[in-house]
A and B are shown apart, each in its own frame.
Chain A
Amino acid sequence: MLRYVIRRFLLALLTLITVSALAFFMTWLSGDPALAIAGDTASAEDIAAVRDHYGLDRPIVAQYFSWAGRALRGDFGVSYHFDLPVSEMLATRLPVTMTLGAASILFALALAIPLGVLAAVYNNTIIDRAALTIAVLGQAIPTFWFALMMMILFGITLRWLPISGGGSWAHYVMPTIALGYFATPVLMRLTRAGMLEALESDYIRTARAYGLPIRSILFRHALRNALIPVVALAAVQFGFMLGGSIVIETVFSLPGIGWLGYDAILRGDLPVVQAILLVVAGFYVILTFLADLLNAALDPRMRSAG
């Protein structure tokens, strides 16, 4: 197990270093930051002065190493546009995105697992089809339109929930449903497939032969095994939600890093974009690493396979 952990850890570290280089160099390809900073009416001299001021005229590799060195100490520089330390901006916004991501994945699991179990138990019946339909709608409906429909119902007509902004738990309800519902289908289908496979297996047949209660067979034996890949996928989905909440945070004006990233990309605010990419990728890598460890703990076969 220790060798497995070390191997996975080194792989995660390598991924993170690669991502940091990609985050730095690829954002440079998106445009000249000096133009973005200098503003619309800048002359060639103004732009040159900006390059000099921000050190943008140094070799890009040298800029990468100094950036990476500072990033290791948690210093991501100062936003070109907002004139605020990037680490401070992330510190105020990351909790919002983390809260949204965690709530959304819990919502998705709470919806997907029961639906998946139902669909598997009542395989090829109308219940199976209904469960699939509910789940598939989550991916078929455009997220922003689903968000607008909720705003109309819960925000305008019923006035139960605030339409946009942050600050209270109520502000998270609609964004959580919108983001979580989108992640439900894939988790539901995986649960269903895992349950079907488990229900066909010899140990379940044996359990039935022993006359164990159906509840025990389903939830103690079949579901436990069926959930192993779901756990790994949920971790990946959580990482996806951290990075993929741009639309939801923008539509609901939820002040997280998704909305910040969207605006930073539009403005060519490189320090912000690079920091967000690195932080989100870091979470993604850590979550995948933890999911691997969890899977290995649950299923000893994976330790030798990995």
Chain B
Amino acid sequence: MLKEIRLDGVKAVLGAGALALVTAFGTSDAMAGPDDDTLRIAWGATGPIDNLDAYFNTNRTGIWFARNVWDTLVFRNLDEGTYEPLLATGWSFPDDTTLDLTLREGVVFHNGEPFDADDVVYTLNFIADPENGVLTRGNVDWIENAERTGPYSVRVHMTRPMPQIFEILSGPIVIYPNEYYAEVGPEGMNRMPVGTGPYRVTEVQPTQRYTLERNPDYTWGSPKGEASIGTLVIREIADVQTQVAELLGGGIDFTADISADQLDQITGLPGFSGAQSETMRISYLGFDAAGRSGFEPTQNPMVREAIARAVNRKAISENLVRGDSRVVNTPCFPTQFGCDEDAAVIWDFDPEAARALLAEAGYPDGFEIEIYNYRSSSWAEAIIADLAEIGIAANLNQMGYFALRDLQHEGRTPLYLMDWGSFSINDMSAITSRFFTLGPDDFAQDEELAAWLETGDSSPDPATREEAYAKAIARITERLYWLPMFSHVRNYAFVEGLEFKGFVDEIPRFYAYSWR
């Protein structure tokens, strides 16, 4: 493990040295994307999209792909904070578990299939059926079934009240063409996705490269707007240093996988621009308060408080994450519905108090603990250094995300630095309820807390939801099941001449980009 960490460090340093060399010797002119109206994009640092069918994908980049290729029933206007008609032009709730939708006329899928109620009914019934094995069941298990009430109207029956329904209808639930999907199924959709969105897919080399072209039929007044750039060529490039080299060498025009340090160096070169945008993703330090790992110290609230006071979150946020990152005190992102910052108990950095608490807890000489991490090792190392100051010797276990998730599900992680991006859903149910409702990721196992979150997730009354979520936030932060750490920043680097816009939900809308 130590060797792996050292190799990571060596690679980072050597990679930075390589970039510095480029900075010193300069580059040729960046390739001009506007010349052929093609934006060449690289992503894939966390692995290629496993499945282009949006309902069988777990990758962040798969979400990016989906938003540009498919449309949702509802449009979330991030600038205004409102929900607007997209494929649905109107909606109403006859009761708490019934939704009536009026659909837009005149929309066609990329394969020429006209959009109507049959597509919505087929899609919703397909994803609602557990037999079909759709991933991320939490996004779809509220659908009982859907029925056609007219050529352009649909009634959706829900299994439970769904207060955050518009977040779901404007996010992960995209509409498929019923005839095409019935014929090709998920495997065919993976090979050649078909939607109604601003870009249509023209080429798929699975896990390697996708070509998207502007949808010429996207002229029906979608709030997304028509795409400006004619062609997108997306390449899966796993190594971030290679992405940077491709950008500097003119092979690509856009990447969003780079670090803040790399962004600084790239934007110092002629012909390149960059941007940083805070995202909904937050890091948190999780404690095994319930004792699932059998490790005793983290079950002691005073020890958890000592650790919370020992960690300098502001320094990590400002110096290591950088950009627009900020310290977060809530177990959710502040813009999410129900994420009341006033309800949180705030733990200020105070090493002296931390030492006293540790002694009071019966550990005057500290103790040894295993800390688990999968993202930037420098963040975890900063925490380890802070803990060393109060006598806690933390051993870093740096591993891949999936390996760490397996360990967590087995309850073997006494202390862990993790993060969650909420699938870009602007509702607290997408994060807090995910981790504190007695599931395999729950290291609190607090039944009262789980009940509050259940109320918050299912009550149709916004005030009741807010009240329940506020209690949950107070409980989590007061008892320190988590120490919320900081918000993440997405760093974007691109060729000069690209009109770029960042969004807090960490999803690039390529259809909103243009050439200057």
Q: Which residues of A contact B (CB under 8 A)?
A: 30-32, 35-36, 38-44, 46, 49-50, 53, 81-84, 89, 142, 144-145, 148-149, 151-152, 155-157, 159, 162-166, 250-253, 255, 259-260, 262-263, 266-268
Contact = CB atoms under 8 A, between A and B. Distances in A.
13 contacts: A36-B406, A41-B137, A43-B137, A50-B133, A82-B50, A82-B51, A84-B190, A89-B206, A145-B11, A151-B249, A152-B25, A163-B249, A267-B47
A80 to B, nearest CB: 9
B315 interface: no
A148 B18 contact: yes
A286 to B, nearest CB: 27
A113 to B, nearest CB: 31
B21 to A, nearest CB: 6
Nearest to A265: B400
B11 A144 contact: yes
Contacts of B205: 255
Contacts of B245: 148, 151-152, 155-156, 163-164
A49 B130 contact: yes
Interface of B: 10-11, 14-15, 18, 21-22, 25, 27-28, 44, 47-48, 50-51, 53, 56, 58, 130, 133, 135-139, 186-187, 190, 205-209, 235-239, 241-242, 245-246, 248-251, 400-403, 405-406, 409, 434, 439-440
Given A83-B187, A151-B249, A267-B47, A253 B242 contact: yes
Contact of A250 (B136, B238, B246): B238
A89 B44 CA distance: 18
A82 B190 CA distance: 8
Contact of A35 (B15, B248, B405): B405
B239 A41 contact: no
B495 to A, nearest CB: 14
A38 B405 CA distance: 12
Contacts of B400: 266
Contacts of A262: 238
B11 A39 contact: no
Contacts of A166: 208
A178 to B, nearest CB: 12
A81 B18 contact: no
5 closest Cβ contacts across the A-B interface? A81-B50, A39-B135, A148-B18, A31-B406, A156-B249
B56 A263 contact: no
B249 A253 contact: no
Nearest to A88: B206
Given A36-B402, A53-B133, A255 B28 contact: no
A164 B238 CA distance: 11
Contacts of B137: 41-43, 46
A240 B220 CA distance: 57
Contact of A253 (B15, B235, B409, B439): B235
Contact of A40 (B209, B237, B405): B405
B222 to A, nearest CB: 29
Nearest to B207: A82
A259 B44 CA distance: 12
A165 B50 CA distance: 18
B342 to A, nearest CB: 28
Contacts of B409: 32, 35
A268 B58 CA distance: 14
A217 to B, nearest CB: 45
A166 B137 CA distance: 37
B239 A253 contact: yes
Given A39-B58, A156-B22, A144 B14 contact: yes
Contacts of B14: 142, 144-145, 148
A42 B405 CA distance: 12
A81 B59 CA distance: 10
A50 B56 CA distance: 13
A38 B135 contact: yes
B187 A142 contact: no
Contacts of B209: 165
B136 A41 contact: yes
Contact of B239 (A31, A36, A165, A250): A250
